[in-house]
Protein backbone atom coordinates (compact mmCIF):
# COMPACT_ATOMS: atom_id res chain seq x y z
CA UNK A 1 0.00 0.00 0.00
CA UNK A 2 2.87 2.35 0.80
CA UNK A 3 4.39 1.72 -2.61
CA UNK A 4 1.14 2.54 -4.37
CA UNK A 5 0.69 5.76 -2.41
CA UNK A 6 4.28 6.69 -3.10
CA UNK A 7 3.84 6.16 -6.87
CA UNK A 8 0.60 8.19 -6.80
CA UNK A 9 2.26 11.11 -5.10
CA UNK A 10 5.19 11.02 -7.53
CA UNK A 11 2.99 11.39 -10.61
CA UNK A 12 3.19 14.68 -12.51
CA UNK A 13 0.58 17.28 -11.65
CA UNK A 14 -1.32 16.96 -14.90
CA UNK A 15 -1.68 13.19 -14.40
CA UNK A 16 -2.89 13.73 -10.82
CA UNK A 17 -5.49 16.26 -12.12
CA UNK A 18 -6.69 13.87 -14.81
CA UNK A 19 -6.96 11.01 -12.29
CA UNK A 20 -8.86 13.23 -9.90
CA UNK A 21 -11.32 14.24 -12.66
CA UNK A 22 -11.81 10.63 -13.74
CA UNK A 23 -12.51 9.43 -10.20
CA UNK A 24 -14.09 12.56 -8.71
CA UNK A 25 -16.41 13.38 -11.64
CA UNK A 26 -18.64 10.31 -11.20
CA UNK A 27 -18.71 10.84 -7.42
CA UNK A 28 -19.86 14.45 -7.88
CA UNK A 29 -22.48 13.32 -10.45
CA UNK A 30 -23.85 10.66 -8.10
CA UNK A 31 -23.94 13.17 -5.24
CA UNK A 32 -25.84 15.67 -7.42
CA UNK A 33 -28.30 13.00 -8.51
CA UNK A 34 -28.91 11.95 -4.88
CA UNK A 35 -29.05 15.38 -3.31
CA UNK A 36 -29.35 18.17 -5.88
CA UNK A 37 -32.21 16.87 -8.02
CA UNK A 38 -34.64 16.36 -5.10
CA UNK A 39 -33.77 19.81 -3.75
CA UNK A 40 -34.42 21.32 -7.17
CA UNK A 41 -37.78 19.55 -7.42
CA UNK A 42 -38.71 20.78 -3.94
CA UNK A 43 -37.74 24.35 -4.85
CA UNK A 44 -39.89 24.18 -7.99
CA UNK A 45 -42.85 22.93 -5.92
CA UNK A 46 -42.36 25.66 -3.34
CA UNK A 47 -42.27 28.34 -6.03
CA UNK A 48 -45.54 27.05 -7.51
CA UNK A 49 -47.10 27.05 -4.02
CA UNK A 50 -45.84 30.60 -3.44
CA UNK A 51 -47.43 31.80 -6.71
CA UNK A 52 -50.74 30.15 -5.72
CA UNK A 53 -50.72 31.82 -2.28
CA UNK A 54 -49.89 35.19 -3.86
CA UNK A 55 -52.90 34.87 -6.22
CA UNK A 56 -55.18 33.93 -3.29
CA UNK A 57 -53.86 36.87 -1.26
CA UNK A 58 -54.48 39.31 -4.12
CA UNK A 59 -58.04 37.98 -4.58
CA UNK A 60 -58.70 38.34 -0.85
CA UNK A 61 -57.39 41.90 -0.84
CA UNK A 62 -59.63 42.81 -3.77
CA UNK A 63 -62.68 41.35 -2.00
CA UNK A 64 -61.83 43.27 1.19
CA UNK A 65 -61.36 46.52 -0.71
CA UNK A 66 -64.72 46.05 -2.44
CA UNK A 67 -66.44 45.27 0.90
CA UNK A 68 -65.79 48.74 2.33
CA UNK A 69 -63.89 50.12 5.28
CA UNK A 70 -63.31 48.25 8.51
CA UNK A 71 -64.97 50.96 10.62
CA UNK A 72 -68.10 50.72 8.47
CA UNK A 73 -68.22 46.95 8.99
CA UNK A 74 -67.68 47.37 12.74
CA UNK A 75 -70.59 49.84 12.85
CA UNK A 76 -72.80 47.36 10.97
CA UNK A 77 -71.83 44.60 13.41
CA UNK A 78 -72.63 46.84 16.37
CA UNK A 79 -76.06 47.64 14.89
CA UNK A 80 -76.78 43.95 14.32
CA UNK A 81 -75.74 43.08 17.87
CA UNK A 82 -77.96 45.82 19.24
CA UNK A 83 -80.88 44.56 17.14
CA UNK A 84 -80.39 41.09 18.61
CA UNK A 85 -80.56 42.40 22.17
CA UNK A 86 -84.01 42.05 23.74
CA UNK A 87 -85.78 45.31 24.40
CA UNK A 88 -85.12 46.63 27.86
CA UNK A 89 -88.28 46.84 29.88
CA UNK A 90 -88.25 48.57 33.22
CA UNK A 91 -90.28 46.69 35.78
CA UNK A 92 -92.21 48.39 38.52
CA UNK A 93 -90.05 49.04 41.59
CA UNK A 94 -91.10 50.51 44.91
CA UNK A 95 -87.57 51.77 45.50
CA UNK A 96 -87.49 53.54 42.13
CA UNK A 97 -90.93 55.04 42.80
CA UNK A 98 -89.90 56.46 46.17
CA UNK A 99 -86.55 57.72 44.86
CA UNK A 100 -88.16 59.36 41.82
CA UNK A 101 -90.95 61.01 43.75
CA UNK A 102 -88.91 61.89 46.83
CA UNK A 103 -91.69 60.61 49.12
CA UNK A 104 -91.63 57.90 51.77
CA UNK A 105 -93.49 54.62 51.55
CA UNK A 106 -95.83 54.22 54.53
CA UNK A 107 -97.89 51.23 53.42
CA UNK A 108 -97.57 48.43 50.84
CA UNK A 109 -100.14 45.65 50.48
CA UNK A 110 -99.45 43.22 47.62
CA UNK A 111 -102.61 41.67 46.23
CA UNK A 112 -102.40 39.13 43.40
CA UNK A 113 -100.90 40.75 40.34
CA UNK A 114 -100.56 44.22 41.82
CA UNK A 115 -101.37 45.83 45.14
CA UNK A 116 -102.01 49.04 46.99
CA UNK A 117 -99.48 51.44 48.40
CA UNK A 118 -99.45 54.70 50.29
CA UNK A 119 -96.80 57.37 49.92
CA UNK A 120 -96.26 60.34 52.21
CA UNK A 121 -95.17 63.36 50.17
CA UNK A 122 -95.68 67.05 49.47
CA UNK A 123 -97.61 68.67 46.63
CA UNK A 124 -94.53 69.35 44.43
CA UNK A 125 -93.62 65.65 44.63
CA UNK A 126 -96.95 64.40 43.19
CA UNK A 127 -96.01 64.95 39.50
CA UNK A 128 -92.88 62.81 40.05
CA UNK A 129 -95.09 59.82 40.92
CA UNK A 130 -97.13 60.22 37.75
CA UNK A 131 -93.96 60.72 35.66
CA UNK A 132 -92.53 57.47 37.02
CA UNK A 133 -95.75 55.54 36.41
CA UNK A 134 -96.05 56.88 32.87
CA UNK A 135 -92.48 55.79 32.08
CA UNK A 136 -93.26 52.16 32.90
CA UNK A 137 -94.12 49.65 30.18
CA UNK A 138 -97.79 49.03 29.40
CA UNK A 139 -97.81 46.08 31.82
CA UNK A 140 -98.61 48.40 34.80
CA UNK A 141 -102.04 49.97 35.26
CA UNK A 142 -103.04 52.61 37.78
CA UNK A 143 -106.55 51.52 38.78
CA UNK A 144 -107.26 54.33 41.27
CA UNK A 145 -105.60 56.86 43.55
CA UNK A 146 -106.60 59.16 46.42
CA UNK A 147 -104.90 62.18 47.90
CA UNK A 148 -105.58 63.07 51.55
CA UNK A 149 -103.93 65.91 53.47
CA UNK A 150 -102.36 64.93 56.77
CA UNK A 151 -100.20 67.23 58.94
CA UNK A 152 -98.84 69.50 56.18
CA UNK A 153 -98.09 66.46 53.96
CA UNK A 154 -100.18 64.29 51.67
CA UNK A 155 -101.07 60.62 51.88
CA UNK A 156 -101.08 59.44 48.30
CA UNK A 157 -102.78 56.05 48.04
CA UNK A 158 -102.43 54.12 44.75
CA UNK A 159 -104.07 50.91 43.58
CA UNK A 160 -101.92 49.22 40.88
CA UNK A 161 -102.45 46.17 38.69
CA UNK A 162 -99.63 44.36 36.86
CA UNK A 163 -100.68 42.79 33.55
CA UNK A 164 -98.83 40.45 31.19
CA UNK A 165 -98.81 42.95 28.32
CA UNK A 166 -95.45 44.20 27.05
pLDDT, the chain, mean: 83
Same domain, 76 and 18: yes
Domain-located, residue 144: yes
Helix ranges (DSSP H) in the chain: 2-9, 13-31, 37-67, 70-84, 94-101, 126-135
Same domain? 100 vs 79? no
Distance, CA of 28 to CA of 82 (rounded, Å): 71
Asked whether residue 142 is domain-assigned, the answer is yes
Last residue of a domain, one of 85, 102, 126: 85
The pLDDT tens digits for 103-113 are: 888 988 888 77
Among the three residues 58, 85, 112, which one is the final residue of a domain in this structure?
85
Q: What is the pLDDT of residues 126-161, one digit of tens each?
A: 888 888 888 876 677 888 889 898 888 889 998 888
- Looking at 85, 113, 128, the residue that finishes a domain is 85
Angle among Cα 113, 137, 114 to the nearest 5 degrees reads 15
Considering its fold, how many domains does the chain have in total? 2
109 and 61 in a common domain:
no
Q: How confident is the model at residue 86 (pLDDT cuts 50, 70, 90)?
A: low
pLDDT in tens, 29-62: 888 787 877 888 888 999 999 999 999 999 988 8
State how far the alpha carbon of 10 is from the alpha carbons of 4, 7, 58, 137, in Å.
10, 5, 66, 113
Range of the domain at 19: 13-85
Q: Radius of gyration (Cα) for the chain, nearest Å?
A: 47
Closest CA to 143 of 164, 158, 130, 165: 158
Supply the DSSP symbol for 112.
S
Q: For residue 6, is pLDDT > 90?
A: no
Does 25 map to a domain? Answer: yes
Picking from 60, 58, 137, the residue whose alpha carbon sits closest to that of residue 93 is 137
For residues 101 and 153, membership in a common domain is answered with yes
Contact 84, 107 (CB under 8 A): no
Amino acid sequence: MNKMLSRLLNLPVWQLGALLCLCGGPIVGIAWWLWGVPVERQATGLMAQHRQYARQYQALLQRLMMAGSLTKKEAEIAQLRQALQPERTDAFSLRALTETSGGTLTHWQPAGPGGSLTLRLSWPQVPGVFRYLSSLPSGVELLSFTLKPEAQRLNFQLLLALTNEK
